[in-house]
Amino acid sequence: MIQVVRLAKGFGTQILFEDISFTLGKGERVGLVGRNGTGKTTLFKILLGEELPDAGDVILPRNYKTGTLKQHLHFTHPTILEECMTALTGDAEFDQYKVEKMLLGLGFKMDDFSRPPSDFSGGYQIRLNLAKVLLADPDCLLLDEPTNYLDIVSMRWLSKFLRNFRGELVIITHDRGFMDEVTTHTMGIWRQKVFKIKGPSTKYFEQIMLEEEIYEKTRVNSDKKRKDLEEFVARFKAKASKATQAQSRMKLLEKMPELDALAMVATLDFEFNHKECPGKTLMEVKDISFGYTEENLIENISFPILKGDKVAIIGKNGKGKSTLLNLLAGELAPRGGQISPNVNLLIGHFGQTNINRLNMENTIEEEVGSVDVNLGQQRVRSICGTMMFTGDLAKKKIKVLSGGERARVLLAKLLAKPCNLLLLDEPTNHLDQESVESLTLELQNYPGAVIIVTHSESMLREVATSLIVFQHGKVEYLPESYDDFLRKIGWDEDETAVSGTTREKPSRQETKRLRSEMIIERSREISPLKKRMEYLENEIMKLEDEQPKLEAELIERTTSGDSKKIQETSQRLGSVRKKIDRSFEELTEVTIKHDALFNKYEVKLKELES
């Protein structure tokens, strides 16, 4: 449990929040919401002790352990398996199975376990850090955008993990659907205060809007009443017959609080610059293939891109989603097949490579204006403003901006550029929830075509009319919604990619030998677990036989009034109950481990025989 008492924090003249108090109750899972720049990450740092508040206190129980995703990546062990083993504590210190299960859930393959962390991309290294945080089994998890580098399958796994997490959780995420799946409460920083409710974010925002409406009505009525009182005083204060009434109204005016009009809250306003394209078809993709090595990532896929199409590319990370987007953008050439664009096609491409190509020496205004020399300064400033770079902020150089701010600059360039086909690679990663909703609405109404890579299932449901799916080692075009895909096909959430190398099928004699070795190996691994299960089952039976006897004995001794014997029996009974609980807990863990190992070998044996 965490208690926050009268906390305040600001930087210079900017106040993030002041006089905020809240409690994080036992087992609560809280979604923290608020516009970018309102102080969500700063609040996290204060809770972690990494930042000092200007005022107030954070009260934690003794020995309370918090876990969070670190931005600085530092690994000290030669393999990812060994790196993750360091996160285990206490009795779980050598539980390799637990580590393997965590890594598989976060999208690593069995073949990856022996590879060094440095082999992996930044996104997968962040997954590795996430695995270590979850394995450490803290009392409280503080997760800031944990889904940014996950694919849909890993997100679904993480959602299930967090729903079953027994400690406290505070999570910041731009994906409202994911947040509402895993949380029990929603808390928001709004107008420098904190509001917390039980329930999903939709309920929270409804409550905020209701309170704003009530405040505004109260303010209008108060202003009218104040004006009436001021007019009465001005009219009658000089008249002796009305002087007393005027005086009382003056006192009433002095006591009346002045309610300020609510300041406008800055919001991203998306409106893409659509350029009409003659004809129905914007692009025709025919039997294209591509790979960075001899093995193709993409093999013989064909699909049309028509006006109004909203196509989502989905699948695990590393399977080729961004590569396909780069092929369509003309940044890569297909190994085989053909991409035929309409002669009037104008592409707007949002992707990591494009962010990296921003001119670091340009100001935001200059970079946005470079899209079209015919854009006037007023139009450029207007576009910068819609991306929340107002006034002098638009004069900042690209090189001093954060990653999220640079992503907003690229979005601003897309708004400035005339286009009729949008290619968007994870455009929501650096947006807050309200901005994601604004983007979603604009994409729904965009008259051109959209092809988007996103891990947000809620965005997939709201935007996508067709899919390109990477799964089971192949890619296919499906002219159906995401919910249709889930109903008809769904995710193979236990799918693990196998090595790209192929080998000859072993002979019958070799198969027999391998099968025999595998059964011996299975027995060697499973036997200790089986023995432990049998021991625990017998132990539980003995303890459950002893428990009713002790309960009867306690009743008898309570009747006799012998306090010493009552205490002794009560302690023995408490000890037996604890042992039963512990034994059941261990039995559950051992059984899960046993069954998983058994099933793993069953799969291997079937593969050997097929």
Tell me, what CATH number does 462's domain have? Answer: 3.40.50.300
Question: Beta strand pairing status for 2-11 and 55-59?
Answer: antiparallel
pLDDT attached to residue 500: 32
**Cβ neighbours of 368 (radius 10 Å):** 28
pLDDT attached to residue 441: 92
User: Do residues 5 and 159 lie in contact, with contact meaning Cβ atoms separated by under 8 Å?
Assistant: no
Whether residue 146 sits in one domain with residue 131: no
Tell whether 452 is covered by a domain.
yes
Query: Residue 363's beta-bridge partner residues?
Result: 397
Q: Residue 603 is part of which domain span?
A: 508-609
Whether residue 167 sits in one domain with residue 31: yes
Boundary (domain end) residue, out of 118, 135, 152: 135
Q: Which two tokens stand for residue 539?
A: 């132990």
Tell me how far apart the alpha carbons of residues 232 and 245 are, in angstroms, rounded to a whole number: 9
Tell me how far apart the alpha carbons of residues 189 and 195 are, in angstroms, rounded to a whole number: 7
pLDDT attached to residue 494: 44
Q: Which two tokens stand for residue 577?
A: 């109950």
Whether residue 120 sits in one domain with residue 145: no
Q: Which stretches in the chain have pLDDT values below 50?
A: 494-504
The enclosing domain of 545 has a CATH number of 1.10.287
Q: Which two tokens stand for residue 409?
A: 């600059």
Element (H, E) at 412: helix 403-416
**Cβ neighbours of 501 (radius 10 Å):** 6
Determine the distance from the C-alpha atom of residue 522 to the mean position of all C-alpha atoms in its chain, rounded to a whole number: 38
**What letter represents residue 34's amino acid?**
G
pLDDT attached to residue 197: 92
Whether residue 472 sits in one domain with residue 397: yes
User: Do residues 257 and 225 lie in contact, with contact meaning Cβ atoms separated by under 8 Å?
Assistant: no
Q: Which two tokens stand for residue 10?
A: 């600001």
Question: Beta strand pairing status for 193-198 and 185-190?
Answer: antiparallel
Whether residue 443 sits in one domain with residue 342: yes
In degrees and rounded to multiples of 5, residue 424 shows phi and psi of -120, 120
Question: Beta strand pairing status for 2-11 and 14-24?
Answer: antiparallel
Query: 465: which DSSP letter?
Result: S
What pTM, to 2 d.p., does this model score?
Answer: 0.66
Sign of the CA dihedral running 539, 542, 548, 552: negative
User: Do residues 308 and 445 lie in contact, with contact meaning Cβ atoms separated by under 8 Å?
Assistant: no
- Report which of 322, 236, 328 is spatially closest to residue 282, judged by C-alpha positions: 328
Whether residue 116 sits in one domain with residue 28: no
Tell whether 147 is covered by a domain.
yes
Angle, helices 96-105/563-609, rounded to nearest 10 degrees: 60
Q: What is the total residue count of the chain?
A: 610
User: Do residues 65 and 53 lie in contact, with contact meaning Cβ atoms separated by under 8 Å?
Assistant: no
Boundary (domain end) residue, out of 112, 135, 158: 135
**What letter represents residue 467's amino acid?**
L
Whether residue 320 sits in one domain with residue 179: no
pLDDT attached to residue 244: 62
> What are the strands of the beta sheet with 29-33, ordered from one edge?
66-68, 140-144, 168-172, 29-33, 185-190, 193-198
pLDDT attached to residue 71: 65
Tell me how far apart the alpha carbons of residues 445 and 454 are, in angstroms, rounded to a whole number: 18
**Cβ neighbours of 548 (radius 10 Å):** 9
Whether residue 391 sits in one domain with residue 525: no
User: Do residues 156 and 490 lie in contact, with contact meaning Cβ atoms separated by under 8 Å?
Assistant: no
Tell whether 262 is covered by a domain.
no
Whether residue 184 sits in one domain with residue 91: no
Whether residue 298 sits in one domain with residue 418: yes
Tell me how far apart the alpha carbons of residues 5 and 23 are, in angstroms, rounded to a whole number: 9
User: Do residues 179 and 31 lie in contact, with contact meaning Cβ atoms separated by under 8 Å?
Assistant: yes
- Number of domains present in the structure of the chain: 4
Q: Which two tokens stand for residue 143?
A: 């997760």
Q: How many helices (H) and strands (E) does the chain have?
A: 18, 18
> What are the strands of the beta sheet with 55-59, ordered from one edge?
14-24, 2-11, 55-59
Whether residue 338 sits in one domain with residue 206: no
User: Do residues 6 and 20 lie in contact, with contact meaning Cβ atoms separated by under 8 Å?
Assistant: yes
Tell me how far apart the alpha carbons of residues 384 and 378 are, in angstroms, rounded to a whole number: 10
Q: How confident is the model over 379-429, as pLDDT tens digits? A: 899 888 888 888 888 999 999 988 888 888 999 999 999 999 999 999 988
Tell whether 444 is covered by a domain.
yes
E-only strand ranges, 398-547: 421-425, 449-453, 466-471, 474-478
Whether residue 377 sits in one domain with residue 453: yes
Boundary (domain end) residue, out of 217, 234, 264: 217
- Residue owning tokens 């793993």: 600
Q: Which two tokens stand for residue 286?
A: 């025919």
Tell me how far apart the alpha carbons of residues 102 and 89 are, in angstroms, rounded to a whole number: 15
- Tell me the chain's radius of gyration from C-alpha atoms: 31
